[in-house]
Structure 1
């Protein structure tokens, strides 16, 4: 049975309360798909609204903890929440339910606990350092474990395209297809990482990630028995979490595939 600390309980509560309006906004987005301008305008409004809602809800339960969204500067000292209000924003704007709220409580470069919540599917994944990773259930929570796959040939790998570099993006996708069973490009790194933790994906290759989009998912993967590597160090199978958090060039994978996946990155 999962033990959920008061701190993590507060984060889950805040995320779920703030997500109520986001779910309503997503339903409206689905109805606006025949109007490109209308859906884009509404997406901007929804994005601003969820950020304000999350800041407000976190302020109620964790009033002394700074809330840091994407492209905001994290404090140099003390705990803070690294938050992505809509991870998978393009999906949200197109009425695609592959998006999530991602929130990680951090102390410096240590990830203490994390939550990834997809309100469209009501799927919530959570982890606390040293206490395992879980998917929320009605009666009991399901413990997450990464896959035990040992060979790339049968692996299902998610890839995040590189912004403004179609050549590198194509290279990573093509290399993945050359070595693995199939590739997925979901547009929501936080959910990809949750699915690696749950064993539904075997790996994620995600260059140029923002801290807010990957921190909670990294903890899910690590607490589920996986590894979080920097793309430059994938061939050494050496974890350097501060390096990953600073570079944003992430490979999340199980131990068996951790060195073999370096073939894709050459």
Structure 2
């Protein structure tokens, strides 16, 4: 299943890479989002690979919604993580594919075609980047910590975002807003980032990244400090999470002001 997920991610990612330097024409441009035909074509290529090899499995993908078959296996797909980045020519985007089996996340693949980065992990098997095992860093100095902020597209206002993120901006080295959540979790997994703050965002966007970060040793909790436990995926469910290298976890969590 892992090899098929990687093949599906590469097929979609290579197509996105081919289209990336073109002048893209959106189907629809919204206040907080943009709809691209490339998103749908990427999704089509992923679903074709997954259904060819696993015709009985269910798939949830961002554009098409739920293709319900065998509920025991559910593929959670974001065919273009970072659509807005992709649209404006900013090379920070990925293809994200996760597998839920019996309500547990067991596999994650995130492919960044621009950098040629294929991240993957299986439950209990560690996390990898292009075949090399990866792990979180050991940074302990809050003033040198670099993090990223992920917020729900429609569940958090810009005013709420400004108020919430101020302590992280002021008390850590840098807080980034990359707008490609799955890839952010992979940067944490490889020790490039020190922490992630997620505010009322869909698990769909980050399911694969969570598997990879967890297998790389990241500490993941809710805002109250309770360890993250994946629930059966529901698109309408939003999560507020903190992830870190563990050493900085309580310090970062202490900056949260609800």
TM-score, scaled to structure 2: 0.87
Matched, 1:40 2:26: yes
Alignment partner, residue 152 of structure 1: 142
Number of positions where the alignment pairs a residue of Structure 1 with one of Structure 2: 244
Structure 2: distance between partners of 1:108 and 1:168: 36
Shift of 1:60: 1.6
Deviations 1:140-176 (A, max 9, x none): x221111111232211011124535112211232110
Shift of 1:209: 2.3
TM-score, scaled to structure 1: 0.85
Match of 1:197 among 189, 198, 202: 189
Alignment partner, residue 5 of structure 2: 11
> Which one is further off, 149-158 or 164-173?
164-173
> Which one is further off, 88-97 or 156-165?
156-165
Shift of 1:243: 6.2
Shift of 1:218: 0.5
> Which one is further off, 158-167 or 218-227?
158-167
Residues 97-108 of structure 1: pairs in structure 2 closer than 5 A: 97-108=91-102
Alignment partner, residue 121 of structure 2: 127
Structure 1: distance between partners of 2:232 and 2:185: 14
Structure 2: distance between partners of 1:244 and 1:166: 30
Structure 1: distance between partners of 2:122 and 2:256: 30
Q: Aligned-pair RMSD on alpha carbons?
A: 2.2
Q: Is the contact between residue 15 and residue 57 of structure 1 (CA under 8 Å) also seen in structure 2?
A: no
Shift of 1:204: 0.9
Indicate the SS of the match to 1:250: strand
Indicate the SS of the match to 1:103: strand
Alignment partner, residue 174 of structure 1: 166
Classify 1:115/1:67 alpha carbon distance in 2 versus 1 (closer, same or farther; 3 Å): same
Structure 2: distance between partners of 1:9 and 1:162: 31
Q: Is the contact between residue 230 and residue 243 of structure 1 (CA under 8 Å) also seen in structure 2?
A: no
Q: Larger % of strand: which?
A: 2
Q: Larger % of helix: which?
A: 1
